[in-house]
Amino acid sequence: MSIHLDNLWMPFTANKQFKAAPRLLVSAKDMHYTSHDGRQILDGTAGLWCVNAGHRREPIAQAMKDMIDTLDFAPTFQMGHPKVFEAATKLAQMTPEGMDKVFFTNSGSEAVDSALKMVLTYHRARGEAQRTKFIGRERGYHGVGFGGISVGGIGGNRKHFSANLMPGVDHLPHTLNYEHAAFSRGEPEWGAHLADNLENLLALHDASTIAAVIVEPLAGSTGVIVPPRGYLKRLREICDQHGLLLIFDEVITGFGRLGTPFAAQYFNVTPDIMTLAKGLNNAAVPMGAVVARNEIYDAVVNAAPEQAIEFFHGYTYSGHPLAAAAACATLDLYQSEGLFTRAADLSAHFENEIHALRANPLVKDIRNLGLVGGVELHSRSGAVGARAYEAFLHCYQNGVLVRYTGDILAFSPPLIVSEAQITEIFAAVKQALDSLT
Ligand SMILES: Cc1ncc(COP(=O)(O)O)c(C=O)c1O
């Protein structure tokens, strides 16, 4: 390969391992990437859980081209441009009722940190400035900002920074349980009571000091942990009883992944705030968002004097014209192609295919919901992660892109995937698993 690889410090990558045997993706269309060695790679992961409408879709590309030829940049601090308002309106039409206020960011990490700051601003505006603590959950992934890794619960993402994490954070236990819920199809029947641990944390810290609870409705990056049936409803009830806000981090579950626009609608539990990114504009250009209940916006905005900035927060590129144009076209495409219900239509086939992998003795657990799934492997002694990495490589060499984290393989194909392509993905995985020792 003639490309020089030395200068790029790659994110979340084993740089030495990768540069010794690079895998470059040079183009993409619909369900496929083209690799640098000219092969078609079926995308079983929607890029990085983000290209929900499939790759390089024409209406999105055209909207972006049009914007490039019209407006390169316009500030959204004390100024505005039409597309950013249009994007907020289109998004608000899809979110749960009463959640109509949209704050744009450039990533999921920024959305999470923005949401935490929004919560603190809201409580202060209502005269409850003592509510400063946050409750996250073990194994939660909320991006890589200091706020996000503080409320997050993935040890590897925290350990080098542990002395500098945000104070005033505690964590719920995660909900993965092999004894009672292994190989559950969809939502595990066991485990709703784990939400009651929130009561213990409220007793420990005193509920009046807690600002909010933040969870991924379905935990994705940690390796797909599906919430036990009734768990999220119970969390909502406890938050309501004690005046806590509930944040759903829907960076992965948003935009049709579970067969509804957002997980909030799938589980019929409405949070106070949602954090979004990825599928928001089909990952065509960086963009994230925080969506808040109207009361939160009203409380913050009405508490400030006329002419005063109400929320001291924002990014130069919040609602960048190019990102906003891509979002408008993407949200239209989701609607016109009915993509938000595709996951519901395909989930039975996806579930059957993924659970057929159980036959392999190396498989420890399988978890799935909508068009997201995880296959956890027994770790090889002394080499955690080696098996999943080998399976990932095998699939890639055979033309299928999957994702791995630790010894878990994760699947989240674009919502335009066909039944035959789902079969193809899991056939490649079966072959890969059969090749492992
Ligand atoms: C639930 C969740 N929150 C936040 C993030 C961070 O998003 P970003 O990588 O865009 O900062 C991710 C990324 O995978 C995520 O899955």
Residue 227 has pLDDT above 70, yes or no: yes
Supply the pLDDT for residue 247.
99
CATH class of the 63-336 domain in this structure: alpha beta
- Ligand 1: which of 105, 252, 280 to mutate, most ligand atoms within 8 Å of CB? 252
State the pTM of this model.
0.98
Q: Is the CB of 223 inside a 6 Å radius of any atom of ligand 1?
A: no
Query: Is the Cβ atom of 391 under 6 angstroms away from ligand 1?
Result: no
Q: Across residues 276-290, what is the average pLDDT? A: 98
Atom of ligand 1 nearest to the CA of 107: 10
CA 139 to ligand 1 center in whole angstroms: 13
- Nearest-angstrom CA–CA distance, 138 and 153: 4
Whether the per-residue pLDDT at 102 is higher than 70: the answer is: yes
Ligand 1 binding pocket mutation candidate from 106, 251, 257 (most atoms within 8 A of CB): 251
Q: Is the pLDDT of residue 1 over 70?
A: no
Decide: 277 in ligand 1 pocket, CB within 6 A.
yes
Residue 296's pLDDT is 98
Atom of ligand 1 nearest to the CA of 286: 10
Q: Give 118-170 pLDDT, tens digit per residue.
A: 999 999 999 999 999 999 999 999 999 999 999 999 999 999 999 999 999 99
Could you give the percent of the chain with pLDDT greater than 90?
Answer: 99
In whole angstroms, what is the distance from residue 290 CA to residue 103 CA?
Answer: 5
Q: Which alpha helices (DSSP H) does 69-177 contain, by range?
A: 82-92, 108-125, 146-151, 155-158
Please report how many Cα atoms fall inside a 13 Å half-sphere around the Cα of residue 153, on the Cβ side: 21
What is the atom index within ligand 1 of the atom nearest the CA of 143? 6
Computed over every residue of the chain, the mean pLDDT equals 98
Q: What is the pLDDT of residue 147?
A: 98
pLDDT at 182 over 70: yes
pLDDT at 206: 98
Choosing from 154, 278, 282 the residue with most ligand 1 atoms within 8 A of its CB, the one to mutate for a pocket test is: 278
Residue 159, pLDDT score: 96
| Protein residue whose Cα sits closest to atom 3 of ligand 1 | 142
Instruction: Give 50's pLDDT tier (boundaries 50, 70, 90).
Output: very high
Q: Which of 1-15, 30-44, 67-81, 373-387 has the lowest mean pLDDT?
A: 1-15
d(CA 151, CA 293): 21
Distance CA 153, CA 219 (A): 11
User: Which residue CA neighbors atom 8 of ligand 1 most closely?
Assistant: 108
Q: Please state the atom number of ligand 1 nearest to the C-alpha of residue 109.
A: 11
Indicate if ligand 1 lies below 6 Å from the C-beta of 140. Answer: no
Strand ranges across the sheet with 25-29: 25-29, 32-35, 40-43, 400-401
373 ligand 1 Cβ < 6 A? no
Please give the pLDDT value at position 141: 98
Can you read off the two tokens belonging to residue 280? 């928001």
pLDDT exceeds cutoff 90 at 88: yes
Answer whether 358's CB lies under 8 Å from 342's CB. Answer: no
Mutate to test the pocket of ligand 1, among 221, 258, 275 (most ligand atoms within 8 A of CB): 221
The residue whose CA is least distant from atom 7 of ligand 1 is 108
What pLDDT is attached to residue 2?
79
Q: What is the pLDDT at residue 22?
A: 96
Domain locations along the chain: 15-53+339-435, 63-336
Q: How far apart are CA 22 and CA 194, in angstroms?
A: 43
Superfamily in which the 15-53+339-435 domain is placed by CATH: Aspartate Aminotransferase, domain 1 (3.90.1150.10)
For residue 326 and ligand 1, the question of a CB distance below 6 A is answered with no
